[in-house]
Structure 1
Amino acid sequence: MTSPLDHTATRRQLLTLATVGGAGLFAAANAGPASAATTGNRFRLTVLGTSDLHGNVYNWDYYKNAEYDDATHNDIGLAKAATLVKAVRAERGASSCLTLDAGDTIQGTPLAYYYANIEPIGGRTKHPMAMAMNALGYDAAALGNHEFNYGLEHLDRFRKELNHPLLGANAVDWDTGEPVFRPWVMKEVATRPGRPPLKVGILGLVTPGVAIWDKANVEGKVRFPGIVEQAEVYVPRMKKAGADVVVVSCHSGMDTSSSYGDALPYPENASSLLAAQVPGIDAILVGHAHSEIPMRKVKNEVTGQRVLLSEPKYWGMRVTVMDLNLEYDGARWGVVSSGATLLDANTATEDAEIAALIRPAHTKVLTYVNSVVGTSTTAMSAATSRYEDTPAIDFINDVQADAVKTAVAGTPAASNPVLSIAAPFNRAAAIPAGQVTVRDVAGLYIFDNTLVGITMTGADLRAYLEKSAAYFKQVSGTGPFTPDQLTNAVTPEAPGGTPDYNYDIVGGLDAPLTYDIDLAQPVGSRIKDLAYDGAPVTDAQVFTVAINNYRQSGGGGFPAVATAPVVYNAQQPIRELLIAWVSANGTIDPATFSSVDWRLTSNGSPITITG
């Protein structure tokens, strides 16, 4: 996993371009008439790209307090990605390379969380991701949707720490429609003696879903028009300003889909649409979907140009290498061929400069996350939470519901039964028996969501649970089935399979909410025997419900919640509530809050799940 990357290994990886997503690339770059080579009419621009770093500098899992590892033994972190970037610069010549990022940088790890909430950046406290990116020398980066999680003030402080522009052409002022962030930047790249520099226009775009997912932070301040619509405005401006080449850093997935359905008039994932519908783009660095796509070509519907796209997975696991091969026609440079591939962080050691630079911040965060906050009477694992009722999710729901009940005391909402909604975010999450640390509790809730209280009717609740149950595949019989035979169903909104975070579990606080999910039935008809405190839930019954801000704002396209009356919203991070609960109570005892209230069935009979 951590074999060193030397010059020979670098060259070996780079020379695989012809077989890994970049057929014929080096031939295109180096071939051609001798006269063209000697007269300097050809030039190769290399665009290096990362995306969805999510606060990862080191190959480290803060929740396990160990070196990062996954089922396919990927390595992660900007420190390793930096080694790959520097190796390519050395191979190609740094002056012919540009380095970009496609967003989601400042959220996702305890390192990022610490410098947003525990020791917020500002003054002498610098963001470790800004320090690392500055050390590597990025040329530009796009906004990601998670950049907005901690509010506009935090984001602006981060932006000011960067040595490169943070681009967002479709993040515009609520009233004026003018960009809040710089929309694009022009970079001049020296080419050949006697030839003019290459002018590269770099455009940044972010998924419009920010308007839903971070509504509390952006409503009334920043709007998010469509990706294609804004590119149609700015690409011609970049061309008019002299751009020979247009590269887009786009925090929006490759294949057109929207987790929020039709809640917005613009798709969440629009990079292929961008390539197909906006003339003048040469290459797109893709982010947001966490996919590994070495190279894809999309034909522009207007010009017929084949636009190059590449997405480098996430967390620094891969680095995109896009090569644009150009020819000078006597007036300007133009792209004649292109190709791309991905480099793998497993082949790299950590960059010594960046590793040393961020070590003090990393050490400080390790001290914080490994501090003991309480004890647990028994171990709780979230490994099976997506297909069976577990104490781990019951704990989250109990803390959320209790917080909302306390907050609405003395208001009309206090007379309603209190429910809570949570999702199995992290299969690896576990609370050990005995001493419990901050990282143990934080692992249960890896997203930076805040708590909201809303009211829902019984009819709303049933519709919500039916939407959630679309997470499961339809089956016949009671099994036994493996978890993968039942979960992560493909839907029109989730063509790659419904993610775990879009499966919600609902629980009651003072009395149980019970229900079966009948997987022999089609989507929309699966929730059976829905009851509260043993009595069937009626359509008109009213509940006060604890829910996270992502879901309440419309994330996932769940019914009823985005328009439901809000009875509590102090923007309190749920992770902090969980940690504070353990600190205040001292002991986690599942016997006080956990019970089996829902199950998977087939025509009324329990399903058996193995493996």
Structure 2
Amino acid sequence: MTKSVSMSRRAFLGTSAAGAFIALHPYSARAAANQAHLRIMETTDLHVHVFPYDYYADKPRDTLGLSRTASIIGDIRAEATNSMLLDNGDFLQGNPMGDYIAYEKGLKEGDLHPVVAAMNTVGFDAATVGNHEFNYGLSFLDKAAAGADFPVVLANLAKEQGSDPTRDVTLFKPYVILDRELTDGAGDTHPIKVGIIGFTPPQVMNWDRRHLEGSVTARDIVETAQAYVPQMREEGADIIIALSHSGIGSADHADGMENASVPLAAVDGVDALMTGHSHLVFPSATYADRAGLDVDAGTIHGKPAVMGGYWGSHLGVIDLMLERDGNKWRVVTTASEARPISKRNEDRSITALVEDDESVLDSVRTIHEETLAYVRRAVGKTSAPLHSYFALVADDPSVQIVSIAQKWYIEQMLKGSEHEGLPILSAAAPFKAGGRGGPEYYTDVPAGDVAIKNVADLYLYPNTARAVRVTGAQVKDWLERSAGMFNQIEAGKPDQVLLNPSFPSYNFDVIDGVTYQIDLTQPSKFDPKGGLINADANRIVNLMFDGQPVDPAAEFIIATNNYRAGGGGKFPGTDGTTVFEAPDTNRDVIVRYIVEQGTINPSADANWHFAKADGATVLFDTGPKARDYLSDVKGVVIEDAGDGPDGFARFRISL
């Protein structure tokens, strides 16, 4: 049965929930008898954030939550004569509520996952599957998706591959064509067929190999779109919207690329593009001067596109002015924007721009309370604070404890194996280190009780432990890859910017078990994506094991996680070198270690530091609370340098 495209959830158009007047969008106000305004709204990368609550910090947070985003959906719908709401994936995993359901409470056939319950309450028209939907396995995903009151589509993952994508037996429906009715400028209704197709990064086959290998295969995003979009047109789709759980990367297509949204937009027949995965905002200045993009117009290759932030921080909005040509619709003009739910003030405080939608809160309130109890359980004690404020510039306690626990676990797992007796190193990276997450996005656990919420704070993702067997040369190159975190500096020069903003903190691996220095005056050997750019570069100097220089031919075991061992970050030494795949998550390993130890001592041992550079100084920004721990930092000469931008604090390091 044909149904109308969603109108406002309010009783009437033109007013907000508070009774304030809402002006119609110009497309709706000016539409002629043969024209209709269709507004398409996007959420993306919700990661189970329904309540505006940071479970890791155990406190409310105004910058996130579907309940906040949902509260503006009604008003944004009221600005348009016709509207639809879509989700772009990564809704099922990403905070302790997701872990509580997956690991503690469980999900049986017929159970309703809380984030799906919230999405049902809001009223989505369709959704796609992001890479993190696979973190808990296919059975869990199937049960969760079964509760959705909206179709879930995904075109490029197949249970059985055919001779081309259209002959694949896909894991989900590759696309849907929704029969809707549009109200035109004269108030008359007309049918429209809206095609929705979904894509996820093919890298899921590496990132979640243990769940997917032998069950599904992945295809290239653009190749898949080129096959399916003409078929959707043949089936009568008037317009086609691509749900691309893929970032905005290069304009040049490469087979199997992770961030394929730009070449995807160039596929003939795609009318609008919802993007995500990168946890950024489009249109915004972040993407200025990129090939194929027009930030002012909000287009990619001339087609409207959005990326609605993450955790419900923004609602992506695409406006289409459609014109009826016979029995078909065509796009006449477009507009795109991303509307935030909060703003940072000049005094660095956060102001909430919206209130909660109580019906969304009510849909998950019981699970929210259960999650709070789950994360507050104490599992042990720490004799020193666990914080990540200086994790990118010095050996750090929050990274140290992860490394210690991984090494402890892998030592047990390799006993009796052919690898027993090889020296075991441990690689770990800081996950919460500011950056895009903002000046509050750091691990900060005081000395005393350690609860499950603290372990989740130390290790954000439900990765599983892995062990890889590498040579001494690969250990050095692994560290060279990590050292791309830093800009090259000039010896003796003052106040140079230290951190490369395009290098994510989760790719800054520190390897415990060796000692080394990083010479910042040397160029990086690898680019931020792991590509070799300076083959002869040597930032890693004085690399030692057990007091002796590391022999390039010596063999080591490195304890790490499935993401890194599966090729995530393109680290040298991870290609085909996995010797142990654990059934346990790294979080579980940390919890077990803390429980066994009772009281842990996470103090950093300063096994790495920066090499001298003739008195040069460098600047880096971190959270303001870092000032409380400044005296604890080892292996680096550091001082407070005042305030940084956007709520960060600035520090100076002398080399």
Same topology, TM > 0.5: yes
CA contact (8 A) 1:132 1:358 kept: yes
Taking the TM superposition and a 5 Å limit, the aligned residue runs for 1:200-239 are 200-239=194-233
Corresponding residue of 2:521: 520
Corresponding residue of 1:560: 573
Corresponding residue of 1:31: 30
Corresponding residue of 2:593: 581
1:195 shift after superposition: 5.5
1:596 shift after superposition: 1.1
Taking the TM superposition and a 5 Å limit, the aligned residue runs for 1:110-259 are 110-123=96-109, 125-176=111-162, 177-192=168-183, 196-256=190-250
1:266 and 2:266 equivalent? no
CA contact (8 A) 1:387 1:487 kept: no
Corresponding residue of 2:359: 353
Taking the TM superposition and a 5 Å limit, the aligned residue runs for 1:334-349 are 334-346=330-342, 347-349=353-355
1:456 and 2:470 equivalent? yes
CA contact (8 A) 1:169 1:179 kept: yes
SS at match of 2:169: coil
1:411 and 2:439 equivalent? no
Q: Which moved more, 1:176-185 or 1:466-475?
A: 176-185
Corresponding residue of 1:88: 76
- Distance in 1 (alpha carbons) for counterparts of 2:423 and 2:408: 11
> What code does the residue aligned with 1:447 have?
Y
Corresponding residue of 2:376: 370
1:435 and 2:428 equivalent? no
1:329 shift after superposition: 1.8
CA contact (8 A) 2:22 2:75 kept: no
Give CA-to-partner distance per residue, 1:134-193, whole Å, 9 cap, x none: 111111111101111111111111111111121110111255442111111111221247
1:330 shift after superposition: 2.1
> What code does the residue aligned with 1:165 have?
P
Q: Which of 564, 587, 603 is equivalent to 1:551?
A: 564
CA contact (8 A) 1:476 1:602 kept: no
- Distance in 1 (alpha carbons) for counterparts of 2:121 and 2:220: 33
CA contact (8 A) 2:158 2:218 kept: yes
Instruction: Report the TM-score, using the length of structure 1 for normalisation.
Output: 0.87
1:56–1:13 CA distance, 2 compared to 1 (3 A): farther
- Distance in 2 (alpha carbons) for counterparts of 1:63 and 1:479: 40
CA contact (8 A) 1:479 1:608 kept: no
Corresponding residue of 1:7: 16
> What code does the residue aligned with 2:575 have?
A
Corresponding residue of 2:92: 106
> What code does the residue aligned with 1:327 have?
E
1:27 shift after superposition: 3.8
- Distance in 1 (alpha carbons) for counterparts of 2:602 and 2:257: 42
CA contact (8 A) 1:10 1:88 kept: no
1:478 shift after superposition: 6.1
CA contact (8 A) 2:247 2:277 kept: yes
1:604–1:598 CA distance, 2 compared to 1 (3 A): farther
Q: Which moved more, 1:338-347 or 1:98-107?
A: 338-347
> What code does the residue aligned with 1:423 have?
A
SS at match of 1:108: coil
- Distance in 1 (alpha carbons) for counterparts of 2:362 and 2:493: 53
> What code does the residue aligned with 2:225 have?
A
Corresponding residue of 1:488: 500
Corresponding residue of 1:598: 608
Corresponding residue of 1:423: 429
CA contact (8 A) 1:469 1:526 kept: yes
1:257–1:478 CA distance, 2 compared to 1 (3 A): farther
SS at match of 1:230: helix
SS at match of 1:570: strand
1:447–1:338 CA distance, 2 compared to 1 (3 A): same
1:41 shift after superposition: 0.8
- Distance in 1 (alpha carbons) for counterparts of 2:509 and 2:160: 32
> What code does the residue aligned with 2:50 have?
V
> What code does the residue aligned with 2:280 have?
S
- Distance in 2 (alpha carbons) for counterparts of 1:236 and 1:576: 47
> What code does the residue aligned with 1:321 have?
V
Corresponding residue of 1:535: 548
More helix by share: 1
1:602 shift after superposition: 4.1
Corresponding residue of 2:385: 379
- Distance in 1 (alpha carbons) for counterparts of 2:382 and 2:248: 44
1:6 shift after superposition: 7.5
Corresponding residue of 1:22: none
> What code does the residue aligned with 1:272 have?
V
1:214 shift after superposition: 1.4
Corresponding residue of 1:78: 66
Corresponding residue of 1:492: none
- Distance in 2 (alpha carbons) for counterparts of 1:434 and 1:6: 51
1:480–1:219 CA distance, 2 compared to 1 (3 A): farther
Corresponding residue of 1:67: 60
SS at match of 2:170: coil
- Whose RCO is larger (CA < 8 A, sep 6+)? 1
In the alignment, structure 1 segments of 5+ residues that lack a partner are: 16-25, 69-73, 490-496
Corresponding residue of 1:473: 487
How many residue pairs end up in the alignment? 559
- Distance in 1 (alpha carbons) for counterparts of 2:19 and 2:476: 56
1:608–1:336 CA distance, 2 compared to 1 (3 A): same
CA contact (8 A) 1:479 1:607 kept: no
> What code does the residue aligned with 2:560 have?
I
SS at match of 2:611: strand
1:559 shift after superposition: 1.3
